[in-house]
């Protein structure tokens, strides 16, 4: 069974990070206003990044780490710009204003996030490849 970490871009240009075991169903929940209160108030949504993981804990760890990233670092992840992610990580680990988390540290080589570019793929469209 695959598990997913994902990023949504909301209508107000904010990001929402989550994880799930069924990406299509979870995106449908968000679009129906039932995924979270945060996304329900910020429609429409666009899926801008996702990655599959072998276990739920890996997907959850990815979600939590990404939630702690700055907006610039999230944008670099979406673009698959690993040089920029590394550069932003070298400035020190600072939590994003949305999470307030401080225990996430900076990017390290053991974090298995691969870029999967889906910029502009509307979450309202079918999520088939």
Which ranges of the chain would DSSP assign to H, the alpha helix? 23-31, 37-40, 56-67, 71-79, 82-90
* Pairing state between β 45-53 and 15-20: unpaired
pLDDT for the residue 96:
52
Long-range contacts of 23-28, Cβ-Cβ distance < 8 Å, separation of 24 or more: 23/50, 23/127, 24/127, 27/123, 27/127
User: In this predicted structure, what is the pLDDT of residue 104?
Assistant: 44
**Both tokens of residue 7?**
């990023």
Read off the pLDDT of residues 82-104 as tens digits, 9 standing for 90 and up: 999 999 987 655 555 554 444 44
In tens, the pLDDT along 9-26 reads: 999 999 999 999 999 999
CATH number for the segment(s) 3-90: 3.40.1440.10
Please write the tens of the pLDDT for every residue from 29-52. 999 999 899 999 999 999 999 999
Q: Model pTM?
A: 0.70
């Amino acid at each position: 069974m695959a598990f997913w970490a994902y990023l949504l871009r909301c209508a107000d240009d904010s990001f929402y990070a989550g994880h799930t075991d069924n990406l299509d169903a979870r995106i449908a929940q968000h679009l129906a206003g039932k995924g979270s209160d945060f996304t329900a108030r910020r429609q429409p949504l666009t899926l801008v990044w996702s990655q599959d993981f072998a276990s739920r804990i890996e997907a959850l760890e990815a979600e939590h780490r990404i939630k702690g990233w700055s907006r610039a670092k999230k944008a670099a992840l979406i673009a698959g710009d690993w040089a920029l992610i590394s550069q932003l990580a070298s400035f020190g680990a600072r939590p994003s204003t949305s999470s307030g988390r401080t225990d996430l540290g900076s990017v390290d080589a053991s974090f298995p996030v691969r870029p999967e570019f889906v910029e502009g793929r509307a979450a309202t469209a079918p999520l088939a490849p």
